[in-house]
Amino acid sequence: NAASKGTYEFYMLKEICEQPTVLHHLAQTYLDQAGTPQVDPKITTGLSRADRIYIFAAGTSYHAGLVGKEIIEELTEIPTEVAFASEAGYHFPILSQHPFFIFLSQSGETADSRVVLQEAIKRKIPCLTLTNVPNSTLAREANYAMSLEAGPEIAVASTKAYIAQITVEAILAKAVGEKLAKKRAKDFLLKENLALAAEGIEQVLSTQDKIAQLAQKYLVSSRNAFYIGRGIDYPVALEAALKLKEVSYIQTEGFAAAELKHGTISLIEPGTPVIALINDPLTADLMRGNIQEVIARGAKVITIASQSLAKANDDIVLTNLNYYLSPLISVVAAQLFAYYTSKIKGLDVDKPRNLAKSVTVE
Ligand code: G6P
């Protein structure tokens, strides 16, 4: 059954390994043979009339929102804001004339998000919840809901729900962009890229031994670590750092790579692990420069790069994918670094201290 661990030692690894299936399943659920999105027309129409989209979420779902913003803006040209629900609830954002709210929540029960939803209902703002639990509170109370179709996620650290959220955001973005007759939405080969992403994840999964060795060598006995990236790799760096913190207890920061030199580079000491994400063609050369800056201060750098941008000695090389969807593959390497670091340290990977799967208090 879907909620059993099967032969896996931990749910987290099982759920990481299920991700190719999640992508295939989402493509089947929400795209037709030709790759055209099949989304409730009320949702597409509502979104296409919006002059601004506001995304609210917490934790990993917030990070999926940051990636979603990039995809939505690229395909629909509708300005999109992302906010922590916990902040927006009591400091409501200034609204445009025709706002549309999207709530991202694996559980659909996060109290911080519910506060914003309640206020939105009062103000009659159209609300859509993307959740993995279709009967959840946030799904029932919003005007519209879409299922993430990721199957039960048991490990406290979220993995497959994150890539499902990004995928559903991309499906929505393509649907709305096509409705608005945006060329970039029509040209966006979502179905093909989801199939490629599934293959790319399989390929990352096949490098598990190498990731475990690198984790053992550079991360397990480290007190702190950094993930760095530019462009869409920056929000992925935030999620990657959160994953490592949650399950390994190593203090990790995700950083926009070029910002390090404006202050935080003072934390780099001989041996500090820095994991660099290199998937943005526009800034790949600049990333290499940023990597040299930390190497010069003694950092131990692990590189994760798309094949077309990779150099001979990069550590993890990823299948090429549309830039906007590259997080679907790159995050998996980070999930595995977190998993193996935690496991090698002998920690309870699925139930990190102090954390709950869903937080129903503000
Ligand atoms: C908790 C979990 C996180 C999760 C966050 C948001 O803090 O430990 O893994 O990202 O809640 O949860 P949601 O269910 O709203 O996505």
CB atoms within 10 A of CB 190: 26
**Burial grade of 312 (CB within 10 A; 0-12, 13-18, 19 or more):** exposed
Q: What is the whole-number distance in angstroms between the Cα of residue 324 and the centre of ligand 1? A: 23
Query: Crossing angle for the helix pair 160-179 and 190-205, nearest 10 degrees?
Result: 160
Mean pLDDT of 348-355: 96
Ligand 1, residues 56, 106, 116, 169: which to mutate, most atoms within 8 A of Cβ?
106
CB atoms within 10 A of CB 166: 29
pLDDT of 253-296, one tens digit each? 999 999 999 999 999 999 999 999 999 999 999 999 999 999 99
Q: Is the CB of 302 under 6 A from ligand 1?
A: no
- Indicate whether 89 pLDDT > 80: yes
**226 strand-pairing partners:** 253, 274
- pTM over 0.90, yes/no: yes
Q: Is the CB of 86 under 6 A from ligand 1?
A: no
pLDDT at 29: 98
Query: Helix, strand, coil proportions of the chain in percent (round to 5)?
Result: 50, 15, 35
- Indicate whether 194 pLDDT > 90: yes
Q: What is the whole-number distance in angstroms between the Cα of residue 232 and the centre of ligand 1? A: 21
83's tokens = 């906010």
User: Where does the pLDDT of residue 1 fall: very low under 50, low under 70, confident under 90, or very high at 90 and above?
Assistant: low
Q: What is the whole-number distance in angstroms between the Cα of residue 242 and the centre of ligand 1? A: 11
ipTM of this complex: 0.96
Alpha helices in 274-356 (DSSP H): 284-296, 327-344
pLDDT at 62: 98
Ligand 1, residues 12, 55, 61: which to mutate, most atoms within 8 A of Cβ?
61
Nearest-angstrom CA–CA distance, 69 and 71: 6
Q: Is the CB of 165 under 6 A from ligand 1?
A: no
User: Where does the pLDDT of residue 104 fall: very low under 50, low under 70, confident under 90, or very high at 90 and above?
Assistant: very high
Instruction: Look at the block and give the residue holding tokens 């201290």.
Output: 353
Q: Is the CB of 197 under 6 A from ligand 1?
A: no
243's tokens = 């994953």
pLDDT at 285: 98
Ligand 1, residues 66, 67, 102, 110: which to mutate, most atoms within 8 A of Cβ?
110
Q: For residue 168, give Cα distances in angstroms to 140, 148, 191, 291, 341.
A: 18, 7, 12, 33, 30
- Indicate whether 137 pLDDT > 70: yes
Nearest-angstrom CA–CA distance, 72 and 324: 10
